[in-house]
Amino acid sequence: MRVYLECIPCFLRQALQAVCLATKDKAMQEKIMREILQMLHEISWNTSPPEIGWRVHHMVKEMTNNADPYADLKRRFNELALALYPTLEEKVLHASNPFEIAVRLSLAGNMIDFGARPGETINVEEEIEKTLQEPLDKKTLEKFKKAVEQAKNILFLGDNAGEVVFDKFLIKQIGTEKITYAVKAKPIINDATLEDAKIAGLNGIVEVIDNGSDIPGTILEKCSENFIDAYKKADLVIAKGQGNYETLNDVDKPIAFLLKVKCRVVAQNMGRKEGELAIHLQNVYC
């Protein structure tokens, strides 16, 4: 998926958020924003939004010498998700359709996305309640359930810190023995890394790998050989979030995209409405 004009204000919003987290030096903040404006003016927009987003965030990190501006926010949302986990686990275990509730909770976790909205505005408990009630295409849900039941080797692409905790419900419903869970190799925005997966307790239930990249999506050409090997072996990929959709929506691979649609550009590309819960099956036939 390529960059559209509507993406440019989003890049600038992300840049401003990141620079304010990375440094309190007003002169440095202005310098960085001016250089990012220049970069956006000069760079080709004939690429995916996550790749340009990567350039924006790398400029912030390099110019402030701050390798992880979102560290405190990630820590806060990991802790919040873990605190909510026992109560939500009871909800899944006692549900009439545990698989659906697990999918909904995984989708609720996708709202913990600082690339799409400021972290300070995210009310996780409120998002969970909304997501448990919002419409969800039941036919597609059943196709997704059948696909994961038939799959023998699943590569699960995680998205954000905090969100990875909510993915555990779905992982357990699918079956831990056939899942490899992938995160980013280094911090980028609030995307999950190996450290976040460990905090979430994923290491104890599934194999966890990093993809060798810190682009906020999955650009296969920039991933590690180890990740590509896992990708090739998988007969189904579960990909969380808009960044993974924006970078994988045109690959020839069975992929189940799970996300909350957070912007008009992605909504139009998917043929969905902004704000919709989406299970988007690509090359999945069952």
Average confidence (pLDDT) over 88-101: 96
Cα 153 to Cα 169: distance, rounded to the nearest angstrom:
18
Domains of the chain: 7-64 (1.10.8), 89-282 (3.40.50.10880)
pLDDT bracket for residue 123 (50, 70, 90)? confident
d(CA 19, CA 192): 20
Contact 92, 98 (CB under 8 A): yes
Residue 79 tokens read as 């802790």
On average, the pLDDT of the chain sits at: 94
pLDDT at res. 275: 87
d(CA 208, CA 202): 7
Distance from CA of residue 100 to its chain's centroid? 19
Task: Indicate whether 117 pLDDT > 70.
Answer: no
Q: Which of 9-13, 113-117, 137-141, 220-224 has the lowest mean pLDDT?
A: 113-117
138-175 per-position pLDDT tens digit = 999 999 999 999 999 999 999 999 999 999 999 999 99
- Distance, in Å, from the CA atom of 101 to the CA atom of 273, rounded to the nearest integer, reads 22
The pLDDT value given to residue 120: 55
- Please determine, for residue 7, whether its predicted confidence score (pLDDT) is greater than 80: yes
Query: Which of 202, 150, 135, 162 has the alpha carbon at shortest distance from 76?
Result: 162
Question: What residue has token string 């970069």?
Answer: 39
| Confidence (pLDDT) at 16 | 95
DSSP string, 179-232: EEEEEBSS--TTB-BHHHHHHHT-TTTSEEEE-S--SSS--GGGS-HHHHHHHH
Provide the pLDDT for residue 1. Answer: 80
* Mean pLDDT in residue range 190-201: 96
8 A C-beta contact, residue 32 and residue 63: yes
State the DSSP H helix or E strand holding residue 128, giving kind and residue range, or none if neither. Answer: helix 124-133
User: Mean pLDDT, to the nearest integer, of 262-282?
Assistant: 92
Identify whether the C-beta of residue 168 lies closer than 8 Å to the C-beta of residue 247: no
Q: Which of 24, 34, 27 is nearest to 59 (CA)?
A: 34
Q: What is the pTM of this model?
A: 0.94
Is the model's pLDDT at 119 over the cut of 70? no
Reported as a single tens digit per residue, the pLDDT across 165-187 is: 999 999 999 999 999 999 999 99
Asked if residue 245 has pLDDT above 80, the reply is: yes
Secondary structure element (H or E) that encloses residue 73, with its range: helix 71-93
**For residue 224, what are its two tokens?**
């590690």
Please give the pLDDT value at position 37: 97
Average pLDDT over residues 262-276: 91
What residues have CB less than 8 Å from 37, skipping those under 6 apart?
12
Is residue 276 scored above 70 in pLDDT?
A: yes
Mean pLDDT of 245-271: 94
| Average pLDDT of the residues in 101-128 | 80
